[in-house]
Amino acid sequence: MGAVRRFAGPIDLHTHSSVSDGTETPGRLVRAAAVAGIRTVAITDHDSTAGWPEATRVAHEIGITLIPGMEFSTRVEHSSVHLLAYLFDPANAAIVAETGRIRQARLVRAEQMVHRIGADYALTWDDVMAQTSDGATVGRPHIADALVARGHALTRSEAFAGILHWSAGYFQPHYAPSPLHAVRLVRAAGGVPVLAHPATRGVGELVSESRLAELVDAGLFGLELDHRENKADARARLATLAEKYHLAVTGSSDYHGSGKPNRLGENTTAPEVLEAIIEQATGAEPVYPG
């Protein structure tokens, strides 16, 4: 059991650094959170814990609480489903192997997408690598940045709405485990899993109640319902299911630096919810100030 403390001030449990598709280094990200008035911030890069050491150093230095975390890529048929994972053991062999496999699959998939885009637009793999930090989890945002640098789009969002949208014909999915497998991996590594932005696709395309019940049985802790991309109808439906299955509800920004309009602290999580996460976690400790 983790050591639980009382939390004061805003808690933001979902942010990205340049270790994945955020635009700030882990250290800059933690500083930006402090400047924004956040007192507790989680770093949750896609499929990587590589930002934890630097974020930890800076959190100590400036006196902010850090919750080490990750956003696990999972997949249900052709849809990607994101799972936030908090305070798991970053050296857990099964997690290290699975995230390594996902990052490799993302790399191959990005190269294939760039190859296909390159047939119609001036764009090379070097353009994408120029937008990607060493060892970062590669995603469409890096391709978007390369498209912007080449003048094929004005912003990341425009690239996502156009060339990178599945309807443009260049999109390709990548390998990812099922949400059920990921929930089990996270719990087995002492972590606490929360479904990220589970209502982005509207009520018609929700994870079914039976699937959700299966995730709850496997140890799902909560649903990130307070997130700008969740749709109102699906969110209301999931709020009802959260009560029925005793799931916690979290809120966060999903900050990506200048890569997305999401601002730090635009949604936050209640202190009691974070305290319950810490109580259940056995894989890693929060980094407390002082």
Residues that bind ligand AMP (CB under 6 A): 21, 139-141, 156-157, 160, 256, 259-260
- C-alpha distances (whole Å) from 151 to each of 42, 64, 250, 261 are 34, 39, 38, 20
Q: Which of 12, 21, 45, 266 binds Fe ion (CB under 5 A)?
A: 21
Q: Is 12 in the site for Zn ion (CB under 5 A)?
A: no
CB of 191 to ligand AMP, least distance (A): 19
User: How many Cβ atoms from other residues are within 10 Å of residue 243's Cβ?
Assistant: 10
CB of 77 to Fe ion, least distance (A): 17
> What gap in Å lies between CA 180 and CA 228, rounded to an integer?
25
Q: Which residues pair with 79 in a beta bridge?
A: 76
Closest CB to Zn ion among 117 and 164? 164
> Of residues 44-83, which lie at the interface with Zn ion (CB under 5 A)?
71
Closest CB to ligand AMP among 7 and 21? 21
> What gap in Å lies between CA 147 and CA 124, rounded to an integer?
10
Candidate segments 14-22, 28-36, 208-216, 270-278, binder of Fe ion by CB under 5 A: 14-22
CB of 22 to ligand AMP, least distance (A): 9
Q: Which of 47, 98, 226, 254 binds Zn ion (CB under 5 A)?
A: 254
> What gap in Å lies between CA 195 and CA 83, rounded to an integer?
5
Q: Which of 67, 196, 225, 277 binds Fe ion (CB under 5 A)?
A: 196
- C-alpha distances (whole Å) from 158 to each of 20, 121, 146, 151, 165 are 20, 15, 12, 11, 10
Candidate segments 84-92, 120-128, 189-197, 266-274, binder of Fe ion by CB under 5 A: 189-197
CB of 227 to Zn ion, least distance (A): 9
Centroid of chain to Cα 187: 17
CB of 259 to ligand AMP, least distance (A): 6
Alpha helices (runs of H) in the chain, residue ranges in sequence order: 26-35, 52-62, 93-118, 125-129, 140-149, 156-161, 179-188, 209-218, 232-244, 271-280
**In which region does residue 226 sit, left (phi positive, over 0), alpha (psi from -120 to 50) or beta (all else)?**
beta
Candidate segments 27-35, 91-99, 190-198, 200-208, binder of Fe ion by CB under 5 A: 190-198
Closest CB to ligand AMP among 21 and 98? 21
Per-residue mark of binding to Fe ion, 79-108 (x: CB under 5 A): ---x--------------------------
CB of 9 to ligand AMP, least distance (A): 25
Helix (H/G/I), strand (E/B), else coil: 55: helix
CB of 6 to ligand AMP, least distance (A): 32
Closest CB to ligand AMP among 47 and 54? 47
> What gap in Å lies between CA 142 and CA 130, rounded to an integer?
9
β-pairing verdict for 79-86 and 40-46 = unpaired
> Which residues make up the interface to Zn ion (CB under 5 A)?
71, 254
